[in-house]
């Protein structure tokens, strides 16, 4: 299967600072990437959909100014959590799709964010 790499795998930051998470498709071109958030013992909740070269589409209730998404190339999307607060602590996971009629998406390994 296709490989999606997410970095960093974990990060601890101080409240009020910003954190950037990268999601890379290593062996295919990802037309579309998805960002999910998963709180402990809960399901994956879609935050936003990003398409290469265009603005991300955010799900209802997700603040676009707080969670900045950039998809500047077909192999890289970034999620920046701005002015992070303890309630932003969560597991963030990206997935990528090549959009070639195959609806399977490939997940990154996830990033554990802890805001202190």
Residues near other proteins (CB under 8 A) are: 1, 31-32, 34, 42-46, 49, 91, 93, 95-97, 99, 103-105, 107-110, 112
Cα separation, 13 vs 100, in Å, equals 38
Q: Quote the least distance from Cβ 4 to other proteins, whole Å.
A: 9
Cβ-based nearer residue to other proteins, 34 or 67: 34
Cα separation, 81 vs 87, in Å, equals 12
Q: Which is it for strands 10-13 and 111-115: parallel, antiparallel or unpaired?
A: parallel
Cβ-based nearer residue to other proteins, 57 or 80: 57
Q: Quote the least distance from Cβ 47 to other proteins, whole Å.
A: 12
Q: Quote the least distance from Cβ 111 to other proteins, whole Å.
A: 10
Cα separation, 110 vs 97, in Å, equals 16
What is the greatest pairwise CA distance in the chain? 42
């Amino acid at each position: 299967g296709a490989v999606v790499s997410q970095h960093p795998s974990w990060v601890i930051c101080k409240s009020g600072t910003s954190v950037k998470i990268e999601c890379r498709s290593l062996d295919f071109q990802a037309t579309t990437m998805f960002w999910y958030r998963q709180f402990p013992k809960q399901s994956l909740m879609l935050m936003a959909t990003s398409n290469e070269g265009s603005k991300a589409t955010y799900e209802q209730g997700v603040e676009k100014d707080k969670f900045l998404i950039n998809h500047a190339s077909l192999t890289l999307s970034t999620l920046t959590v701005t002015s992070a607060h303890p309630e932003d602590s969560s597991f963030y996971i990206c997935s990528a799709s090549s959009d070639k009629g195959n609806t399977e998406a490939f997940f990154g390994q996830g990033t554990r964010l802890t805001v202190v």
